[in-house]
Amino acid sequence: MRTAHRVEKVRAAEAELMARLPDGALMARAAAGLAAACADLLGRVYGARVVLLVGSGDNGGDTLWAGARLARRGAAVHAVLLAPDRAHAAGLAAFQAAGGRVADDPFAVLSGADLVLDGITGIGGTGGLRPAAVPVARAARGSGAVVVAVDLPSGVEADSGEVRGEALRADATVTFGTDKPGLLIDPAREHAGTVRLVDIGLGPHLPSVPDVESLQHPDVAVLLPEPSGESDKYRRGVVGVAAGSARYPGAAVLTVAGALRGGAGAVRYVGPEGAAVVARFPEALVHAGPPVKAGRVQAWVVGPGLGDDEDTVGQVLASDVPVLVDADGLRLLDPDAVRARTAPTLLTPHAGEAAALLGRDRAEVEAGRLDAVRELSARYGATVLLKGSTTLIAAPDPRLPVRADPMGTPWLATAGSGDVLSGLAGSLLAAGLPPLDAASCAAYLHGLAARRAAAVSTPITSYEVADALGAAWRDIRTPD
């Protein structure tokens, strides 16, 4: 599991730890880890041309101390001081004592650099890069050097992943003590590149429950349901799928395709497109009547391609089993009926649907996904999976961490892939996973399946994503 903590918690943990250590010890640990990571990236330190972008805070301090270490190992290191009067004094003295030089012309040194360290701002940064830093950050990006962000790419919001202006784009980020939420959530995540965590001893001082977390293969492996000797199709769970309409018959097929690969023992399709479903999937059970007459299921998926069938949404929401609501279902749902449910509800909007549910602009939701997913989940008393470039999942209990899916790929931005996801997540609900786990495992498997399909050929179709789900399960169970 990757875990991320908000800035206030990082600072509290740092204060506790610093009180037990000699002055400067923590920064020395950070700088040692940073210099080691840079040496790995460079391969050979001796003779390498390194440029430090140094801001006015401790982030610049870490960078100067690391620059001193690299200079002592024979690198030619120049520091670009963005606020010369406020550069970290001890760091600058150590840097110069080690043979590092302050650059007169930032653009001249950047044009010949092998490695650039971005120490403009870390967790103390607010707003995008200040205007003076913008051309320097752009020149770093355009220089052909490997760009390494120190703690965070400068200009991103550490706590939310928002980018409110211009931010530096790094190839890699070396972060200290713990991940920050912005390293797991777009658009900031995209600016960070590959993230490496340096242990500075903060762990025991951080709250045990993080603010944001990302599942990794072993976490998903533990959560996925496995049939046992005692299993039969009913004990494995039956998932009901109320999706598709004469106008959108494909949604019925794709949702069932996802549901069949989600671990439930049987999929019961309910709606007008049973013939199309059975033609593709003879293993599906079909029922043409309303959901209340369909027989017992352990979870429902309602909404993909449903058109305007409000009755179906109402009937499913009135049931006493977990319900996933997607697509048209989100438009047709009665918020009071959702809030009144005693069994869990999982809503799976994309940014446009989330914006409609919240009464906000789509762009606002996309820029501030963490805030949007938390607010939706609180308003509806439901688990919410907000789809997009970073899919986020929030449980209604605000004490639980928000899960940020690390597996998505932009190839998933293709019609119908959301239908596959909702079938898959509904199937995991029917198999007995709690909504937060069902949703986050589904997003992870969906992304992994899309990556596998994209490795064979691109562009991928939603049906190919569904087809690759079995291979994704196998990958997770048998890591190499």
Ligand X SMILES: Nc1ncnc2c1ncn2[C@@H]1O[C@H](COP(=O)(O)OP(=O)(O)O)[C@@H](O)[C@H]1O
The annotation places the binding site at 58-62, 118, 122-128, 151, 154, 251, 305, 350, 387-391, 418-419
- In this structure, are residues 125 and 152 in contact, taking their beta carbons and an 8 Å threshold? yes
Q: Does 118 bind K ion (CB under 5 A)?
A: yes
Query: Per DSSP, which regions of 215-344 are E strands?
Result: 238-242, 266-270, 285-287, 299-302, 323-325
Shortest Cβ 90–ligand NAX spacing (Å)? 12
Interface with ligand X in residues 361-390 (CB under 6 A): 387-389
Binds 408: which of ligand NAX, K ion, ligand X, none (CB < 5-8 Å by kind)? ligand X
Q: Does 116 bind ligand NAX (CB under 6 A)?
A: no
* Nearest of 147, 127, 125 to residue 137 by alpha carbon: 147
* Nearest of 173, 171, 121, 165 to residue 141 by alpha carbon: 171
Q: Does 214 bind ligand X (CB under 6 A)?
A: no
Q: Does 154 bind K ion (CB under 5 A)?
A: yes
Shortest Cβ 258–ligand X spacing (Å)? 10
Q: Does 439 bind ligand X (CB under 6 A)?
A: no
How would you class 449 by CB atoms within 10 Å of its CB: exposed for 0-12, middle for 13-18, buried for 19 or more? buried
- Among positions 33, 48, 58, 169, the unique one binding ligand NAX when judged by CB under 6 A: 58
Shortest Cβ 401–K ion spacing (Å)? 24
- Per CB under 5 A, the segment of 109-117, 153-161, 241-249, 290-298 that binds K ion is 153-161
For ligand X, the closer CB: 158 or 251: 251
For ligand NAX, the closer CB: 211 or 328: 211
Phi then psi for 81, rounded to 5 degrees?
-95, 110
* Nearest of 158, 157, 148 to residue 35 by alpha carbon: 148
Q: Does 129 bind ligand NAX (CB under 6 A)?
A: yes
Interatomic CA distance for residues 13 and 380, integer angstroms: 33
Q: Give, as one character, the DSSP assignment of residue 401.
A: P
Shortest Cβ 388–ligand X spacing (Å)? 5
Cα–Cα distances (Å) from 300 to 60, 237, 303, 431, in that order, read 53, 11, 10, 12
Q: Is 81 helix (H, G, I), strand (E, B) or coil?
A: strand
406: preceding bond cis by omega (within 30 degrees): no
Q: Is 434 helix (H, G, I), strand (E, B) or coil?
A: coil
Neighbours of 295 (CB within 10 A): 13
Which residue is associated with the tokens 């009937």? 315
Binds 302: which of ligand NAX, K ion, ligand X, none (CB < 5-8 Å by kind)? none
- Among positions 18, 278, 337, 378, the unique one binding ligand NAX when judged by CB under 6 A: 18
For ligand X, the closer CB: 65 or 444: 444
Q: Does 111 bind ligand X (CB under 6 A)?
A: no
Q: Does 403 bind ligand X (CB under 6 A)?
A: no
Q: Does 417 bind ligand X (CB under 6 A)?
A: yes
- In this structure, are residues 242 and 302 in contact, taking their beta carbons and an 8 Å threshold? yes
Positions that interact with ligand X (CB under 6 A)? 327, 350, 387-389, 391, 408-410, 412-413, 415-419, 421, 446
Positions that interact with ligand NAX (CB under 6 A)? 14, 18, 26-27, 30, 55-60, 62, 120-127, 129-130, 133, 150-151, 176, 200
